[in-house]
Amino acid sequence: SAGAEISISPEPAQPAEGDNVTLVVRGLSGDVLAHSWYAGPTLSLSYLVASYIVSTGDETPGPAHTGREAVRPDGSLAIWGVLPRHSGPYILQTLNRQLHTEVGYGHVQVYEILAPPVVTANRTALVEHRDTLRLACSSPSAAEARWFFNGDTLPVAVRLGLSPDGRLLTRPGVRREEAGAYQCEVWNPVSASRSEPLNLTVYFGPERVAILQDSTARTGCTIRLDLNTSLTLRCVARSCPEPEYVWAFNGRALQEGPDHLDIGGMTSAQEGTYTCIAKNPKTLLSGSASVVVRLSAAAVSMMIVPVPATPTEGQDVTLTVQGHPKDLLVYAWYRGPASEPNRLLSQLPSGNWIAGPAHSGREVGFANCSLLVQKLNLTDAGRYMLKTVTLQGKTDTLEVELQVARERGSLPSHPPDGPAGTREASAISRVSV
């Protein structure tokens, strides 16, 4: 007969591997003669663990006895140091004085102490939107698995890539937000063990390439500088890894490597477009940003500066022109008023210069409009005039008064028209359009 009143429950209810467990029996009648315990689904002799005679206390081990079981006088079954193989159904059969039998059923689930799993990846460095991430959680246990990302549970979007058993994580077209430390944890009601973190790198960029001046973004802008001032341009970009930088000036490569470019002693020759090109060696992508650097309005006004400022008889002097027009077509130097008899030389559109009627053989013209006068004599003192014409037809006229100091120790050919000594050459500018 099946005794519905007999109940069997393990204590503790969720034993771990190595625990001592007692299958406690409740609902037994008081006239039991013998107890028989079975570790299996049926009352088969092969599942018999032990039989116990109440009156004598004799216990007889059965074929399923593992050496760890013992039947107590109250009918309970004690198991010392349970192992996972002790998990399964248990049946108690009792015999009373009327030679009637009663049967009770119970179940034991022994949970193992879990070893840490191992996380493996198809690769640990991937390119964003291009590569697929595959992570596998390996464990000898069949326990449930769960994942952690940077110490927290996986984001919902990432959890969508889990296999039904939770052991495989797949992310097609991995994104930069998914870079970080991944861990797998296996667990059961009595044990949990987490793997060592596996760090994943996602390469991306470069993006948002920009050129900064004093921490201010200047991409696409025009930067104006005074003559002879300095400027540092810095290139930034969002990229993993840090990009390689190449600087170019008017389309010509300047330098490769540093993220900054120093422009020192600004002159008209340094006016133009500066471009920073950022290259990512992992994604094989690149991006660029440009700025235009110009001399300020005050700096581009033409002026003539004699060098040296106080030339002496017998020396050479260069009438240096600063801020000459970039779109120059032709220019001409005159000794005195701008008339053909006074023309020293002219530069043609071809870049060559030709001598004029007033040329003494000692004057040389340069591409930047400057004029060299060699081996000065006292008669070279006086007014010089420069006339420029641009491609747009704009005409500018500039004058300078050159004074030549007498060589020390020589006698004057005529009384000086001022105080004894030398006077610095002065420049007088007059611009007309």
How is the chain split into domains, by residue range? Answer: 7-108, 118-196, 207-295, 303-402
Q: What is the pLDDT of residue 410?
A: 56
Three-class SS state of 342: helix
Distances from the Cα of 407 to the Cα of 166, 373, 384, 402, 422, angstroms: 99, 16, 22, 16, 10
pLDDT range class, residue 360, cuts 50, 70, 90: very high
Is residue 424's pLDDT more than 60?
A: no
Q: What is the mean pLDDT of residues 225-253?
A: 92
Structure-block tokens of residue 392: 């747009």
Q: What is the pLDDT of residue 34?
A: 94
Closest CA to 324 of 308, 306, 304: 304
Omega into 12 within 30° of 0, i.e. cis? yes
Q: What is the mean pLDDT of residues 328-352?
A: 88
Q: What is the mean pLDDT of residues 261-286?
A: 91
Distances from the Cα of 381 to the Cα of 87, 341, 358, angstroms: 117, 18, 14
Q: What is the mean pLDDT of residues 14-34?
A: 91
Q: What is the mean pLDDT of residues 339-361?
A: 88
The answer to whether residues 258 and 221 touch, using CB atoms and an 8 Å cutoff, is: no
Distances from the Cα of 399 to the Cα of 82, 363, 372, 380, 393, angstroms: 110, 17, 15, 15, 20
Q: What CATH number was assigned to the domain covering residues 207-295?
A: 2.60.40.10
What would the pLDDT profile of 317-328 be if each residue is shown by its tens digit?
999 998 787 778
Q: Beta strand pairing status for 426-428 and 395-402? A: antiparallel
The residue to which tokens 């467990």 are assigned: 21
CATH superfamily of 303-402: Immunoglobulins (2.60.40.10)
Is residue 38's pLDDT more than 80?
A: yes
Q: What is the pLDDT of residue 2?
A: 45
Is residue 382's pLDDT more than 80?
A: yes
DSSP annotation of 111: B
Q: What is the pLDDT of residue 298?
A: 56
Rounded Cα gap, residues 317 and 59, in angstroms: 127
Between these two residues, 197 and 303, which has the higher pLDDT value? 197
Tell me which amino acid residue 232 is.
T
Rounded Cα gap, residues 161 and 153, in angstroms: 14
Rounded Cα gap, residues 307 and 327, in angstroms: 25
Between these two residues, 214 and 52, which has the higher pLDDT value? 52
Structure-block tokens of residue 370: 């400057």
| CATH number of this structure's domain 118-196, picked from the four choices 2.40.50.1070, 2.60.40.10, 3.40.630.30, 3.40.50.360 | 2.60.40.10
Rounded Cα gap, residues 91 and 330, in angstroms: 115
Q: What is the pLDDT of residue 300?
A: 58
Q: What is the pTM of this model?
A: 0.61
Q: What is the pLDDT of residue 299?
A: 54
156's enclosing H/E stretch is helix 156-159
Structure-block tokens of residue 257: 């490597």
Question: How confident is the prediction for the chain on average, in pLDDT?
Answer: 88
What would the pLDDT profile of 148-201 be if each residue is shown by its tens digit?
999 998 887 777 788 999 999 999 999 999 999 999 999 999 999 999 999 999
What topology does CATH give the domain 7-108? Immunoglobulin-like (2.60.40)
Q: What is the mean pLDDT of residues 226-253?
A: 92
Query: Do the domains 303-402 and 118-196 match in fold?
Result: yes
